[in-house]
Amino acid sequence: MKQPLAPKRWFRIIPIVFITYSLAYLDRANFGFAVAGGMADDLNLDKATSSLLGSLFFLGYFFFQIPGAHYAASKSAKKLIFISLILWGALAAATGMVSNVTSLIIIRFMLGVVESAVMPSMLILLSHWFTKKERSRANTFLVLGNPVTVLWMSVLSGYLINSMGWRWMFIIQGVPGIIWAFIWWRMIDEKPKDANWLSEEEKQAVENQLREEQAGIKPVKNYAEAFKSTTVILLCFQYLLWSLGVYGFVMWLPSIIKAAPDMDIVKTGWLSSVPYLLAISGMLATSYFSDKTLNRKIFIWPFLLAASVAFFCSYLIGTQHFWISFALLVIAGGALYAPYGPFFAVITEILPKNVAGGALGLINSIGALGSFIGAYLVGYLNGKTGGFESSYILMAVALLLSAIITIIVIKAPANILKEEV
């Protein structure tokens, strides 16, 4: 019977990666709680300004994805993430000390810049450690940091704002990132050959398997050649539309719930956490079966379609039936997150290593643009119309189009680029 390939990798690499991405994700979601919990009143923010501030993070995130991903792929993902964690923690804590809108604008934009390289760097790091048959699960444990963080953060933020105010919420949630940066530096290794906790045989077995997988992919000359690929372009557009739905949902869910009758910030926190329970179980299930079948496509588009239908049904029901609408939002939230593992596995499987970092950066960058649009437009529509129906339609249409593009562009097995270029 064939021995498992260096099982120690899962117990060493995955917990560190999970905690790191969890800490780096905090500020994307806690801003929505701060707005709902007093920041808007204290700093005299109207709906339009709140929407702009919520989305500015993603604008900074958009501009610096590709250079960060290229550095991680060609130099060191470990070093880049170490620096990002320290700067992120400091900026997140500084958010709790702002006294005017101008400084808040600068901090929100710089947070996006600092965090822009974390996601593609993590994906590149995981591609150095896990094989094709493992990658969807490894990516999922990384991205699980997203819903798990929002799950506990939603509850904690509600209590922190209620007892200490929004300023202390930011400060308390920013400091752990700085501390964790040094644990990250001590515990993580760039590649199997650097790990003194693996035997020489284990190192060689992992490196050989990864080398064999890349041998089947036709080399791509440079980034320009990869970026001109129809597949990469469509994946960028697909991820833009998907991210529009995700961050329209994440940023404004607390405000949607808080608007219900007899709703305080603590109840808002508890209810906001519920969709992420479903998201966690969905992500684990899709990643497991995606790796088992290596059919990524079927574990992506049906969930995007389900989220689209849930948002559309929320629009039809309206705000007068809060609990039915809330149940649909729970379904939408779970479905939005479920396909992340299979989706990012596709990218690293169809691209050679010399351009995978840049392509991941490009796709994640365009996704950040979608996040910016979603966070801004959903907030803008909510403020302009005085309700949430228009934003439900926006997210439903975006996710429907994203599902359609997925059906068109992703083949099974994922081998499009090596044929195309």
Residues in the chain: 421
State the pLDDT at residue 355. 63
pLDDT band of residue 225 (cuts 50, 70, 90) is: low
DSSP characters for 305-361?
A: HHHHHHHHHHHHH-TTSHHHHHHHHHHHHHHHHTTHHHHHHHHHHHS-HHHHHHHHH
- What does the buried/exposed string (b/e) look like for 235-274 if buried means 16 or more CB atoms within 10 Å of the residue's CB? bbbbbbbbbbbbbbbbbbbbbbbbbeeeeebbebbebbbb
Kindly tell me if the per-residue pLDDT of 217 is higher than 60. no
Residue type, 348: T
Kindly tell me if the per-residue pLDDT of 306 is higher than 70. yes
Cβ neighbours of residue 361 closer than 8 Å, sequence gap 6 or more: 65, 66, 67, 68, 69, 70, 117, 120
Segment 257-275, tens digit of pLDDT: 777 777 777 788 788 778 8
- What does the buried/exposed string (b/e) look like for 318-337 if buried means 16 or more CB atoms within 10 Å of the residue's CB? eeeebeebbbbbbbbbbbbb
**Position with higher pLDDT, 366 vs 305:** 305
Euclidean distance between CA atoms 356 and 189, whole angstroms = 20
Q: What is the C-alpha end-to-end distance of the chain, expressed in Å?
A: 39
Euclidean distance between CA atoms 50 and 392, whole angstroms = 19
State the pLDDT at residue 291. 83
Instruction: State the average pLDDT for the chain.
Output: 81
pLDDT band of residue 35 (cuts 50, 70, 90) is: confident
Kindly tell me if the per-residue pLDDT of 131 is higher than 80. yes
pLDDT band of residue 364 (cuts 50, 70, 90) is: confident
Residues above pLDDT 70, as percent of the chain: 89
Kindly tell me if the per-residue pLDDT of 221 is higher than 70. no
pLDDT band of residue 226 (cuts 50, 70, 90) is: low
Residue whose entry in the numeric block shows the structure tokens 């904690």? 156
Q: What is the mean pLDDT of residues 366-389?
A: 78
Euclidean distance between CA atoms 366 and 349, whole angstroms = 20
